Amino acid sequence: MTKLALEDHGNVAIVRLANGVTNAISPEVVAELPLALQEARGRFRGMVLAGGNKFFSIGLDLPTLLKLNRKDMAAFWAMFEDAVLALYTLPIPTAAAIAGHAPAAGTILALACDFRLIASGKKLMGLNEIKIGLPVPFLADLMLRQAVGDRTATEIEYAGELLAPEKARALALVDGLFPEEDVEVKAIAKISEMVERPPFGFPLTKQHRTRDIRTRFLAGRESINQAFMDCWFSAPVQNILGEASKKF
């Protein structure tokens, strides 16, 4: 793997995004993530997803993705959703250690984990898709509503704001708030505590939590993704995305 790294912490693995400073979610990252998850599942009893101190992940790699035609972008998007679903349903305990910014798809990766811990300070996360003309992706919407409740999820999605750590904690988008240097340590400790328990009941318990969302997502995926691609390739949204890509 070149865009992800797997680090051994006893019974817990850190799967670290390692795609430069921004950790943009590129086709290479999406291709490697399921492999890293399988390795973590096979060798460890729990997993922490981490990034860098400046960016957990800036989100989708817009400069790369804007070069794709509709067919190739649709293929990428399906791969990304498959990777997120694999993380969401991974039958071992998982936590996101968010030491840097995590807008948009960065937040989606964090939502796919069982727990989310964020660093205090000037860190931002949230689903800001509506501000660039895109819908919040269907799987992200389902995971967010499960995490924070229906009314709060609606407010987060409709506002499209990036949230400071304290606000994210108040809305239950994250489970803990710690100094930057402690976030990964606390995430490892959280998962280590869980894996000390007998392992036999956890996979089925997690399946209870994730089954309905997995079923709903797969049932509605095809038509919703067609509509998502229509938005992505509309001229006004392409212009907005093009401007956003200049920040990378």
Give 29 or 1, the one with higher predicted confidence: 29
Domain borders along the chain are: 4-195
Q: According to the model, what pLDDT value does residue 247 have? A: 85
pLDDT digits (tens, 9 = 90+) for 121-149: 999 999 999 999 999 999 999 999 999 99
The pLDDT score that the predictor gives to residue 1 is 79
What's the average model confidence in pLDDT over 84-94? 98
pLDDT of residue 38: 97
C-alpha span between 126 and 110 (Å, rounded):
10
pLDDT single digits (tens) 225-239 = 999 999 999 999 999
**Average pLDDT value for the chain:** 97
Please check the confidence at residue 248 and state whether its pLDDT lies above 90: no
Does 3.90.226.10 match the CATH number of domain 4-195? yes
Burial class of residue 89 in the structure, from the number of CB atoms within 10 Å of its CB (0-12 exposed, 13-18 middle, 19+ buried): middle
